[in-house]
Amino acid sequence: MKIIIINGPNLNLLGKREPEVYGSDTFEDYFSKLQFKFKEIELEYFQSNIEGELISKIQETGFTYDGIVLNAAAYTHTSVGIADAIKAVETPVVEVHISNTHKREEFRHVSYISPVAIGVILGFGLKSYDLAIESLKN
Ligand code: DQA
């Protein structure tokens, strides 16, 4: 089984960025733990701050991988392009957020990704990714 985690803008700063919201672990450290936990899964990780690169990665993996775990970060709330890419591919996409976006500013309550994702996991910190992988496994 092949799963890719795709992270959007500013998620390369995890560990440094607003630790009270996003925690103090880097994603690289957490990713190693995921690889250790899900040894039977071929796990890949991609991050970009650029919307078009996220779209290209969805297109590139969206016909051959078994699952995409996507945290589109701020683009969640704005990107018709990413939503269209998810609609265009065959691989199921699970939308993930570290924070509970519904507890935050109103503009974060809107997601262009949710209507095209197979499911949404949010608010469990980095564990949201773990839960998303579990959901794709089953
Ligand atoms: C986020 C929530 C978004 O609103 C925000 O723009 C992010 C991170 C999360 O994982 O909680 O960058 O997607």
**If DSSP states are collapsed to H, E and C, what string results for the chain?**
CEEEEEECCCHHHCCCCCHHHHCCCCHHHHHHHHHHHCCCCEEEEEECCCHHHHHHHHHHHCCCCCEEEEECHHHHHCCHHHHHHHHHCCCCEEEEECCCHHHCCHHHHCCCCHHHCCEEEECCCCHHHHHHHHHHHC
Look up the pTM and report it. Answer: 0.97
Residue 132 scores a pLDDT above 80: yes
Distance (Å) from CA 11 to ligand 1 centroid: 8
Mutate to test the pocket of ligand 1, among 54, 97, 104 (most ligand atoms within 8 A of CB): 97
Task: Tell me the two tokens of residue 103.
Answer: 């507890």
Active site residues: 22, 97
Examine the pLDDT at 54 and tell me if it is beyond 90. yes
Minimum-distance ligand 1 atom for the alpha carbon of 8:
12
Question: What would the mean pLDDT of 107-131 be, rounded to a whole number?
Answer: 98
What pLDDT shows up at residue 119? 98
